[in-house]
Structure 1
Amino acid sequence: MDAVEKANAERQRKWVKDQKIGEGTYAVVYRGRELSTGRKIAIKKIKVGQFKDGLDMSAIREVKYLRELKHQNVIELLDVFSSKTNLNLVLEFLDTDLELVIKDRSLVFLPSDIKAWMAMTFRGLEFCHRNWILHRDLKPNNLLIAADGQLKLADFGLARDFADPGYKMTCQVITRWYRPPELLFGCRYYSTAVDIWSVGCIFAELMLRTPYLPGESDMDQLKTIFRALGTPTEEDWPGHTKLPDYVPLGQFPKTPLRDLFTAASADCLNLLNKCLVYDPKKRISAKEALNHPYFFALPYPSHPSKLPKPVKKESHIIIEEVEGNVDFSGPGPGVKANPPNKLKRKLSDDESEGKRSIARRLDFGQRGSS
């Protein structure tokens, strides 16, 4: 046994698989524990043999970016080891997700609760963006929640770096209901604004308790967006008619957000509107969002430990993390918040590797509970 095999075997012995709790097309997830401490962990076993060209790119991405991102609002990758022909990711164990919280009608959300979830989402995303990483699949079931209430960004299988602004990227990313209009129109050069649009859709979903923009196809997704926010003009969004997949889809009037979000504060609606601006260049950044008056006005964000959580089987979230983009029935209240399309996990034009230095972790302390 050479040094590499020996080191791998030593890492493998640190972790114990206790129970299989989920299986997707390309991975099996186990609940486990650390042998020395008994700490709960999750082991995500990637089925390497499933791929003709070796290891799936999503597994490489997940390992690459999670090894670089250490932040309280990003899921922690504890270890990686190989076993036979499989790659095993050891992740911190997180027992629920934001989608389950939203769909549990026994839970009552206070404005301070929504503010806390949004603050933690923006903190995690700001850290990713500050370190030149796009998530590219933000949605409620990729926002996991720890036992102490901390929300963490997870599933980095579609993430990539964006250090080179002239590099062509795929537009086939981000689950449809959370995908911004520029990607639906085939834009291949984009940046952090695509993640911000997704966060805006999640923000709206937290207030509505149902997906905000549930399109049934890519074209219907655009129509759904335009019906909600009005058809963009060249003044609103210069150059959008020149995008590769642009097609005119009719004229829809702009409906004020206040008509739908009747209970929201003025600051809340202002931030939501800044996330859902058509022109990506004018969309708010995660850093700017964290300094928005919404987060500094009463009521202050709830403390994470005080946030509502569903009582459920702990296995569900892990299954969701594996399944990622599963087919579900059509949209509507109480329906799974995933559109009926699968994203391609292997992205041929997205494989540039770049060196990034990881900036030190910011401490956005909680401002108090209500």
Structure 2
Amino acid sequence: MPVRTSSRSWSIYGRGEIAQRYEILGRIGSGAYADVYRGRRRSDGLIVALKEIHDYRSSFREIEALQALRGSPNVVELIEYFWHEDEDAVLVLEFLPADLAAVIREAKRSGGIAIGEVKQWMVQILRGVEACHRSSVVHRDLKPSNLLISADGVLKLADFGQSRMLQENRLMSIDNESGVQDVQEHRSDQQNAQGLRRVNEDDYLKELYGLKAKNTTYDSDKEMSLQDGDTSCLATCSTGDIEVDPFKGSYYSYEAQEDVVDESGALTSCVGTRWFRAPELLYGSMSYGKEIDLWSLGCIFAELVSLDPLFPGTSDLDQLGRIITVLGNLTEETWPGCSNLPDYNKISFGKVENPIGLEACLPSRCAAEVGLVKRLLCYDPASRATAAELLHDRYFAEEPLPMPPSELKIPSNKEEHNESSPEAWADYRDMDSDSDPDEIGNINVSTTEKAEAIIC
């Protein structure tokens, strides 16, 4: 984690190649792993967002994902990027002035969101997620503040710092003169003949950071991680590991948990923002796929129609307790094989005889809307509806139809806010994992009124 000696990140201001092309207008967001600036392209006056990422693995992931998704209408556009040895990556992104979190905040003040507007937001989110999954990109941190909105009502997925490509190997073209790495998928033998070569991520990072010297070993887990790849989120993530920042979770932010991959290729379970984190991750799964994004979608849709977060857990245990209070206990009947989750036998909840149910959480919503959320918030990941399937749900074909994007109500521009107003950026702060069984010991933890957890 970088150590800042002042509130201003001097590295981006001192980089001539960026200053020649962009005028930096000021910082608009900040987090533990990135700073975001509003800028103006000198050649044509285009307003952009300059995202300076202080973690090179996150830089790799975000560039890789955005290049794989280039041209997707509902994914933020990567215009270009600057990345050289011994310097932070700076991504030049299209500037989008609002996000879905601001839409929800404004709707709470104004009395709600029209059904036609809700449908249009949902359709655009689904198109963005479908594009990701079709390109084998798992976002892993979907939440309202990462769904950015243009002035003309186009919603786009952003903040891919935690994303993962499902393929193990990538093809990358290397510009030796500029030092810029262009991450690409394998598309044709002709491309391969033009200089693309197969490398894996660790080889790429070695090359980028000059780690090829003789007798130099590269242990990515030791060098990159605060967590142990063989343990779960409950056992490894604590608030002491994460920088407290009033801008965490904000526009173009990076609210990362270091990702770990062990020798077998298993992923860390400590990803995403707690309120939107799938149960399998909360129980320590390190073998998951696109389905974790689908659970996040269900939480987002529930918040969009109710204007309140569905599962606002204050810790991982409380998060599980809230989910179980609504959906009932996680058992082999609800998800065959769940007892094999790493932490399933370490945490037990009292029997919830009468779960609240999603209908009670969304009391003023129609059966079609509740049904849409139900199709996503299933314990069994294999039972969750895909984004492609939901785009064909009859809910979107019934009156009122989705409102045209140009008619959507867009909140006031976020560019009006600045670092002196941290409350405007901090909706999702303090949502990182903060429960550690090693510290808690064998105690009963009251998580909700109806669910009690015992850590064994």
* Alignment match, 2:348: 248
Q: Does 1:278 pair with 2:379?
A: yes
Distance 1:110 1:32 in 2: 34
- Paired letter, 1:197: W
* Alignment match, 1:351: none
Extract unaligned runs of 5+ from structure 1: 1-7, 48-54, 321-325, 329-335, 344-370
Distance 1:310 1:300 in 2: 22
- Paired letter, 1:124: G
Among 149, 159, 169, the residue aligned to 2:153 = 149
Residues 49, 92 of structure 2: 8 Å contact kept: yes
- Paired letter, 2:36: V
Q: 1:338 offset after TM fit, Å?
A: 4.3
Q: 1:38 offset after TM fit, Å?
A: 0.9
Residues 27, 418 of structure 2: 8 Å contact kept: no
* Alignment match, 1:257: 358
Farther off after superposition, 83-92 or 298-307? 83-92
Distance 1:177 1:273, change over 3 A: same
Q: Does 1:76 pair with 2:77?
A: yes
Q: Secondary structure at 1:20's aligned position in 2? A: strand
* Alignment match, 1:130: 134
Among 121, 126, 136, the residue aligned to 2:125 = 121
Distance 1:318 1:138, change over 3 A: farther
Q: 1:311 offset after TM fit, Å?
A: 2.2
- Paired letter, 2:409: P
Q: Secondary structure at 1:137's aligned position in 2? A: coil
Distance 1:85 1:260 in 2: 48
Farther off after superposition, 248-257 or 70-79? 248-257
* Alignment match, 2:203: none
Among 22, 28, 44, the residue aligned to 1:15 = 22
Residues 95, 317 of structure 1: 8 Å contact kept: no
Percent of pairs with identical residues? 42
List per-residue Cα deviations over 1:258-315 (Å, max 9, x = no partner).
Answer: 2332332222221110100110011111111111111111111111121122225415
Distance 2:402 2:67 in 1: 29
TM superposition score normalised by structure 2:
0.65
Among 28, 51, 58, the residue aligned to 1:44 = 51
Distance 1:318 1:175 in 2: 22
Distance 1:176 1:10, change over 3 A: closer
Q: Secondary structure at 2:348's aligned position in 1? A: coil
Distance 2:80 2:420 in 1: 20
Distance 1:317 1:290, change over 3 A: farther
- Paired letter, 2:56: D
Extract unaligned runs of 5+ from structure 2: 1-14, 169-263, 435-456
List per-residue Cα deviations over 1:224-243 (Å, max 9, x = no partner).
Answer: 00111111332111111221
Distance 1:24 1:257 in 2: 33
What aligned pairs does 1:39-118 form with structure 2 within 5 A after superposition?
A: 39-47=46-54, 55-70=55-70, 71-82=72-83, 85-104=87-106, 105-107=108-110, 108-118=112-122
List per-residue Cα deviations over 1:190-226 (Å, max 9, x = no partner).
Answer: 1111000001000011112111101111111111001
Query: How many residues get paired?
Result: 317
Q: Does 1:163 pair with 2:264?
A: no
Distance 1:85 1:11, change over 3 A: closer
Residues 336, 380 of structure 2: 8 Å contact kept: yes
Q: Secondary structure at 1:16's aligned position in 2? A: strand
Distance 2:419 2:69 in 1: 20
Q: Which protein has greater RCO, CA pairs closer than 8 Å, 6+ apart?
A: 1
Distance 1:319 1:296 in 2: 44
Distance 1:60 1:176 in 2: 24
